[in-house]
Chain A
């Protein structure tokens, strides 16, 4: 029978089919661990006297809490320090490989997996973090889990799960210059809503997706969760194989050939049926920006702040009114007139080398506007080193931006990188929730290109606005 990509990956990992209402028991190929969602899971193991079943399929890093300055000093916040120390002790005790703060391979968990070549097509990948969907860009089934499930995977290397429904998101046509993967995914979320993907794994396909680099595909898959989806996937192709080839943990020699043969089967069969389908015309897309407090509240940057009165659905109208009140925005204001005080370039969504290159290209020879603070936070130490080898850091510094160390940083403000109450950011991260970047902070989600142009003008802008 014809199967979708998601169904093929699922079927290849079923340890045991559930009977009746029972879920399937799914084998997990790779478990990524960080300091925030793991301490209670390791505690659970200790209490039950259970070992980590497969430390060799588990890898940890420090990302959410770590400061992005002075990383050679102990973490100033004692609560953050305790959490990081706890991870170090747990990894030592249970034999899990850890890339701590300062290590050359340290970085955001969803940046380092692909970078090391650990994320490969057809794998199941989990992490106690909802943006695990990032890894689906390789044709892996990758999804976020809670701490109880983290403990479950540590103990059994499996998860009991019912198969996800499948949704095809087909993006055909060519993206206009200046329109990026971030704009595509923000448009997808605005179209299907923050709950539109609930219960589904999304498969992104079509000529616009096929034309994207691996990093751009990761940006798209990363935000699948913002549409409520369990996971997002892109079928692996030559772009995927070229990215993987030569990575530290990619197969070598004969094993590479065996893997490649397997990976080439990982496509949705002709005639396979999805449970739902969405079509998007890539040629219709323009730079996108959010105006509200959930990632579905977005519009093309050329539009105006919407008027809640014009929204028919009562729940959505009330949500829009609350969002505008929180964001301190007036209906009808051109989005381009919105002034920001902070620009954040980074995160597991847009903290990779291509993102930094794109932003640096805009900033080259220009200045960050007076009264705007711009933070550039590479997604990993490797990304940082690569950027420095290309001289990008000099472009950022010359423009007046702050060049930081790697971590999650202002995406969620668990470290000192936060918005102050009332401050407004243009952010390349993934969530514009109330207070997400700091209590009382206001967030507009944007692409790296829009972030850089906004930093120069001080109002939401595209690079075209700079000429």
Chain B
């Protein structure tokens, strides 16, 4: 994973709450077995409407999405994060994120910056008044700014550290392989295994 410290890019105002992962990428795009190339599925249904924000010129090149509350609800599909990242987004700003989406984003280096809804609305105004305005997100300082407006955002310290360092979770966990093996010895015998019945 690429380390993340600061990012500056075109901010995209998405005035919708409850943006579920079926909207971020519909199920039909989930049949692929690759890990890249999901940008065509991003907001596929909404992008069919030419008035949709990502079809407007300065926003097309956006990399900081500023959305309404409860972003990423619903399905656990990590494809939603891949679609956003493949399109070019590095940051999503929202007042509330669904837990699984937030977790998935953290694994892929997509920053979920949780702001107050009033700050989101301030950002929306700025981005709508001057389309193409750059938004700067500073993970070290935990701030998001546009023009002369700056807001603080929340992110848990562990995810922040992993993003700043660009660390891979599996490698971190495997440092504790001995503890895992030790734990396994203490599991009760009655716990089930999936080995087919009758097999050795």
A-to-B contact residues, CB < 8 Å: 15-16, 18, 21-23, 25, 27, 29-30, 36-37, 39-40, 43, 48, 50, 53, 55-59, 64-65, 77, 79-80, 82-83, 86, 97, 117-118, 120, 123, 128-130, 144-149, 151-152, 155-158, 160, 162, 194-195, 198-199, 225-226, 228, 230, 248-251, 255-256, 258-259, 262, 294, 315-316, 318-319, 322, 412-414, 431, 433-436, 439
**Interface pair B194/A58, CB less than 8 Å apart:** yes
A151 — which chain B residues lie within 8 A by C-beta?
A: 170
Q: How far is the CA of A316 from the CA of B170 in the complex (A)?
A: 40
Q: Which of A79, A144, A148, A230 contacts B32, CB < 8 Å?
A: A79
* A157 to B32 alpha-carbon distance, docked (Å): 25
Q: What's the nearest-Cβ distance from chain A to residue B134, in Å?
A: 26
The answer to whether B99 touches A198, judged by C-beta atoms less than 8 angstroms apart, is yes
Q: Are A319 and B17 in contact (CB under 8 A)?
A: yes
Contact B28 A414 (CB under 8 A): yes
CA–CA, A57 to B187, complex, Å? 12
Question: How far is it, in angstroms, between the C-alpha of A22 and the C-alpha of B158 when the chains are bound?
Answer: 6
0/1 string, B18-40, CB within 8 A of A gives 1: 10101100111011111100000
Residues of B95-122 at the interface with A, using a CB-CB cut-off of 8 Å, are 96-100, 103-104, 107-108, 117
What 1/0 flags go to B115-133 for Cβ under 8 Å of A? 0010000000000000000
Query: Which partner residue on chain B sits nearest A411 by CB separation?
Result: B27
- Specify which of A147, A194, A226, A434 is in contact with B23 (CB 8 Å cutoff): A434
Which residue of chain B lies nearest to A127 when distances are taken between CB atoms in the complex? B76
When distances are taken between beta carbons in the complex, the residues of chain B under 8 Å from A57 are 193-194
Complex CA gap A50/B168 in Å reads 14
- Assess whether A318 is in contact with B170, with CB atoms less than 8 Å apart: no
**Residue from A130, A248, A259 within 8 A of B74 (CB atoms):** A130
How many B residues have CB within 8 A of the partner chain? 64
Partner of A155, one of B74, B174, B179, B192: B174
- B68 within 8 Å of A (CB atoms): yes
Which residues does B use to contact A, with CB under 8 Å? Answer: 15-18, 20, 22-23, 26-28, 30-35, 45, 68-70, 73-79, 81, 96-100, 103-104, 107-108, 117, 156-158, 161, 169-170, 172-174, 176-177, 179-180, 183-184, 187-197
Beyond contacts A117-B192, A156-B174, A160-B172: 9 other A-B pairs, Cβ-Cβ < 8 A, are A27-B180, A29-B187, A79-B32, A120-B192, A146-B100, A198-B98, A319-B16, A322-B16, A431-B75
Cα-based distance from A50 to B97 in the complex (angstroms): 32
CB <8 Å contact, B73 and A30: no
A149 and B107 in contact, given A194-B73, A319-B17 (Cβ under 8 angstroms): yes
Bound-state Cα–Cα, A315 to B16, Å:
8
Check if A82 sits within 8 Å of B33, measured CB to CB.
yes
Contact status B76-A129, CB under 8 Å: yes
